[in-house]
Chains A and B, each alone.
Chain A
Amino acid sequence: IAGITQAPTSQILAAGRRMTLRCTQDMRHNAMYWYRQDLGLGLRLIHYSNTAGTTGKGEVPDGYSVSRANTDDFPLTLASAVPSQTSVYFCASSAERGWGEQFFGPGTRLTVL
């Protein structure tokens, strides 16, 4: 089934630990995104990638890093997790600039203690 998969579904993590959230799409979309969703704040863009090999910072990039080695995968890494990174993380992809629909994964619920 075409779409976006994210792993893990949920995770509880001790502060200071390193964590990588995985995202894979099979739609051959150029662009991919990572958002975090927090109550009352909606979705905020963390990092994005316009195409394989390029990445850019979004609205809230601090404490996160990404890589885009190929078209399909876009992992998000928390080098040293802090409690303020407790959130629901969504990966998304789109084919066209600006006017294109973004397709979302099911999300990863991360709790940092």
Chain B
Amino acid sequence: ETGVTQSPTHLIKTRGQQVTLRCSSQSGHNTVSWYQQALGQGPQFIFQYYREEENGRGNFPPRFSGLQFPNYSSELNVNALELDDSALYLCAITLKDRFPYGYTFGSGTRLTVV
């Protein structure tokens, strides 16, 4: 049990639609990051939030956006879905007062765009 919960576990959307993925943790965390993992590839960094503000972003277009809430939950929003957005989306947190910064991942949301 990682203590990081993602929902939903699976999702099917149509091209052009919008989707919201959610992440929450059982305990306080410093940062929350989102990653996209295509089949057979390593995870790719989308962005990171710290104290409810984005403080780092990978090579993803603005239609990928996020939010971090005071209650240790976070959202990833993707607008105008494309077929290539089909992937496993992972949320990762760093736990409070734990140095080095071990990143704890959730089990992910499998998004399929048709």
Does chain A bind chain B? no
**Chain A residues within CB distance 8 Å of chain B:** none
